[in-house]
Structure 1
Amino acid sequence: SFVFSSSCVRAENGPTAYIIEKIDETTCKLTWLLNVDLKGWLPQYLINSSLANVQLDLVESLRNYISKTIDIELSCSSSMDTNTA
C-alpha cells in the first residue's frame, strides 16, 4: 500500500551490520556497516550530513537503552541478593 510521490526519493537498504566489541568493563566499540542506495541524485553533503545525524541519534538511543537496562539488571540483582541472604 505504498503511495508513489514524485517529490520523494525512494531508497534501498542493503545488508547492514552492527559489530559491538568489548574494550574493557565499561567501554565498547561500535562499528556500523551500512549499505544504502538512495536511488536518485542528492548532493553528497546532504547525504553525509543526514547519515551522520542518524548514526549519532542511534548511538545516543543505544546508550540510553543500555544505561536503563543495566540499572534495572543491577537493581534486580541486588534485590535478589538481599532476599537470599
Structure 2
Amino acid sequence: MNRGVNGPTAYIIENNDNTTCRFTWLLNVDLKGWLPQYLINSSLATVQLTLAEALRNYLTKLIDLSSSGSSTGDIAT
C-alpha cells in the first residue's frame, strides 16, 4: 500500500560572498491522502524551515569549533 510518493528533490547551495550562501530546497511530495493540498504545503514549509534552522545552527557550531581548533566530534547534535 502506498501512503505517499516522493518525487524529484534537489538542494541548491549558491555562494553569495565569503560569509553567506543561498540554500534552495525543491521538494515534490504527494501524500496520497484525504488532507487538502494547502494543508500539506504549509506543513512541509514549516518542516523545511525547521531543518534549515537546524542546519544553520550546526554549521555555526562547526565553524566556531574549527576556528578554536576543536574536533568536529565535539559538536552536540
Q: Same fold (TM over 0.5)?
A: yes
For the residues of structure 1 that align with 2:7 and 2:39, how far apart are their CA atoms?
20
List structure 1 runs of 4+ shifted beyond 3 angstroms: none
Supply the AA of the counterpart residue of 1:25: N
Aligned to 1:20: 13
Alpha-carbon separation, structure 2, partners of 1:27 and 1:34: 23
Aligned to 1:82: none
The total of aligned residue pairs comes to: 70
Unaligned stretches of 5+ residues in structure 1? 78-85
Percentage of matched positions with identical amino acids: 71
Q: Which moved more, 1:63-72 or 1:41-50?
A: 41-50
Deviations 1:3-53 (A, max 9, x none): x7xxxx821212211111110111110111112121123212311220110
2:59 maps to 1:66:
yes
Alignment-derived partner of residue 47 in structure 2 = 54
Gaps of 5+ in 2: 71-77
TM-score by length of 1: 0.71
Measured in 2, the distance between the counterparts of 1:35 and 1:43 equals: 16
- Per-residue deviation, 1:61: 0.6
Residue in structure 2 matched with residue 42 of structure 1 by the alignment: 35
SS at the partner of 1:24? coil
When normalised by structure 2's length, the TM-score is 0.77
Q: Distance in 2 between matches of 1:10 and 1:54?
A: 19
